[in-house]
């Protein structure tokens, strides 16, 4: 995480893409790396960037069941109503094995 912070502070491209069209924030969300997600959000990474599946970081974290990443992204203003390529919002694609993501997202709509 310290390396990511230093890179951000020295002008690293936070929107660089890999072969799957993932940005660093998308990749950190997929992997569930909450500390890197925090640093990237604090340094202005695009929370609505989309990969080849048309997933945002929030959708990626929801699918993978990373509730702490979902919380950080929502706290930093990620669009909780963003939809995937099929038109499904994060609440619909949450990981079956971890109901905490669904519970958290439902709480945002109350």
Query: Per residue in 60-108, pLDDT tens?
Result: 999 999 999 999 999 999 999 999 888 988 888 887 667 888 888 888 8
Residues 6+ apart with CB under 8 A from 12: none
Instruction: Give the distance between the most distant pair of CA atoms in the chain.
Output: 40
50 compared with 98, residue with greater pLDDT: 50
How many folded domains does the chain comprise? 1
As beta bridge partners, residue 89 has 83
- The domain of 67 spans 2-108
Count of other CB atoms within 10 angstroms of residue 88: 12
As beta bridge partners, residue 83 has 89
Do residues 41 and 21 lie in contact, with contact meaning Cβ atoms separated by under 8 Å?
A: no
Domain of residue 21, CATH code: 1.25.40.20
């Amino acid at each position: 995480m310290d390396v990511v912070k230093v890179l951000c502070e020295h002008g690293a491209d936070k929107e660089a893409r890999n072969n799957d069209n993932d940005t660093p924030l998308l990749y950190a969300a997929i992997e569930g790396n909450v500390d890197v997600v925090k640093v990237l959000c604090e340094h202005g990474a695009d929370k609505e960037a989309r990969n080849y599946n048309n997933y945002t970081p929030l959708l990626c974290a929801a699918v993978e069941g990373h509730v702490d990443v979902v919380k950080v992204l929502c706290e930093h203003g990620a669009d909780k109503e963003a939809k995937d390529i099929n038109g499904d919002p994060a609440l619909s694609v949450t990981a079956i094995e971890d109901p905490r993501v669904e519970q958290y997202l439902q709480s945002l709509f109350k």
